[in-house]
Structure 1
Amino acid sequence: MDQRLEIPKDTDPQWASLIESCWHSEPKCRPSFLELLVKLKDLQKRYSTQPR
């Protein structure tokens, strides 16, 4: 029914984009599992190198 939770405004734009791409109503337009893994690994590197 194309109902989605609202993504909080302070969410990192890269995360929001990834979430929204997975929500695409057309399954063919959603990222593959391999594409998700690549994006998640990139985000993991980004967050693991940031100072805390």
Structure 2
Amino acid sequence: MKKMIKKVIAPVLVITVLFAVLRTFCIQDGKCNYFLLLLLMGIPFGIGKMCVWMVP
């Protein structure tokens, strides 16, 4: 049960909170710019993976 909370529920909660907070920054002309939203939401998840890949 703890493994499921750590692997599934915690990331979903983080994504939900990020969406709620960052959506206000991505509204332009009354519409949400989803490309900018995905870019901003992907930064916290991608930073940890940037150090994993080695560039030859």
* TM value normalised by structure 1: 0.34
Structure (1 or 2) with the greater helix fraction: 2
Higher relative contact order (CA 8 A, sep 6+): 2
Higher gyration radius (CA) = 2
Structure (1 or 2) with the greater strand fraction: 2
